[in-house]
Structure 1
Amino acid sequence: MVTARSSQPRPAPPVVDVPLMEELPPVRLRSRAVGIISLLVVVAGAIAFYVVYKNQREATAAHEAQRAQDQRDADERTRQLREAQADPGRIAVTSTPSEASVWLKLGRTNLDTQVLPSSQMLRLRIEHDGYQPVDTEVVAASWEGTGLARKARLAVTLKPVPIDKKTHQPQVAALPALPANLPEPTGLTAGEGPVHIETSPPGAEVWLLIGFANTGVNFPTIAGRPYELRALADGYKPGYASITADEWRDPRGDPRAPIDAARKKEMIAKHIDLEVDPDAKPASPSPSHPGPSHPGPSHPGSRPAPKPRK
């Protein structure tokens, strides 16, 4: 059977509208910035790690070097301390006139003195502006402890100087230039140590009697230390002499060495010339002083000063 052909045309496929090249968006290539940044981060991390590692090595080396230097410094200090042991010395004093007492200044209260012997009585003169001067002693009962712990204690209350009602001038009871001899003390034992001295009020000068010029003064002490000396004679003004730490230096030693480690002289001699005091008044005998906080010998007052040795 024959089918009749349709006379209607078949629909044609749609025509594709091809865009022009100028209208197409540009092709985006993959950026290299991410890779570069990643590489830079890796490089920076490596550099930072190296810097930290290098710093740690340098710190470790510096620490080891410091430890070695500290050990060398400690060894050097030990050597210096060993060489700087306190060297014994002596102070010799003469005066004109020779009938004079000689005193060594210990300092101002309250204080711990230099090391002093406990085998003999120590005679002190304590002076403070506006207060009566006092002569007192360090006796056997003042000491306590043994060995390196040995120490003496002394406490003195000073009396204010009274004012004269007529002249309105202070009435200071002058102490004798030549303190009277005292009875031979008992109970003293061998040893040495500092003396702790307190006064009320504080700030008083403390002088240690080290002898009489007419019988010879040869006081044992520590070389390489500064000292201040005073000579007193009735009818004369006080005379003074000082010793500097450098005066102890032996010229045969190393002049650059610290004084504690330097070679020192065994003795320093000083002479004090006293000047006549035209206003001098006769000194009264030593008054009864408040004394230390322990029992001690009293001043006889009438005993003469030591006579020159023949």
Structure 2
Amino acid sequence: MAAATQSDADREKSVGNEHFKKGDYLKAAACYTKSIKADPANHVIYANRAQAFLKLNKVARALEDADKCIELAPEYVKGHVRKATALAVLGRKTEAEQAMLHACRLEPTNRDIIQLGVQICGKEFVRQAAALRRAPDSATPTAAAAAATPTNGAADAPIPAKPDAASAGAKALVNLSPEEFATEAIRTTIAELLEKKTLQPRVYMQPSPPRFKTRKDKGTQPATPGEEPALGVMQIAQAFESPETLAQLIPALRAHAKDQFKAQAAALAVLKSSIAFPRVWHSKGSRWPFDEACEGIFMQLEHPRGRAMWFTHIEDANELKIGATVSLDPAEFGILPRLFT
């Protein structure tokens, strides 16, 4: 998408949000329509317009937008919530209940979803939601799945290789190379996705080794596994909603990396469906190795000496079937600007 077109889409979406807050749902829907014309692959705008249509009692159109949102981003919970609400208004209670249960599977502890589920499905939904939270996962992560066997991509940055068992087991987190740290971040991210069926955007911070001062040595000594600082994790759920939210995040990320975590490297992990901006895969032709509508996990590694990027393809978003991991050029596909400057 050209920069001007993306800017148009973001501007119309923002104006639509303001109209919605004021209760002018007709103008909000009109702005969302303009935004969709400028960026027809943005699932968030379809969810927004669906909500505006619900307020206008244009339920059939709301359902169409909800279905389109789910088609573009199956793991985006608001698409399923909008669909459930529309189906309930149309009197299709069984389908509405299934849509709400799908939303609850994505975010089983979200109280707003549970409350809406009770409104749509009745008090029985509380028991169903509780059963979902207690149910064992059908896709328990295995070592092979969590490692996400990589395949080489066309970019220059190598895909981080899984350390051999002897060296990985002996190395402390603070002593990992940036590439080894990225490997652990990818493994941790995929394991959590398989376990929880959802993934909030986050940045992992690799701590620096603790410093030991003596008369002879005031430098840094390697840490042993028993005394290493803990992994830092910064949740950034709203970061990729717009250029403004991303711009607001960057100073805080840099400050946390430098001051709070004293990080020697950082790794962003985010589902593609969680990104409304920047849509770095859009209009890249053969340089983007997958279908534009695919799902997957972006992993961006930042450290003072360089940066790298990978994308782990999710071949089946419903079954969470993990596919190949490919390298990407951070100069072209980077989601965050440089964190270590």
* TM-score normalised per structure 1: 0.24
**Larger RCO of the pair (alpha carbons < 8 Å, separation 6+):** 1
Q: Which has the higher strand share?
A: 1
Q: Which has the higher helix share?
A: 2
* TM-score normalised per structure 2: 0.22
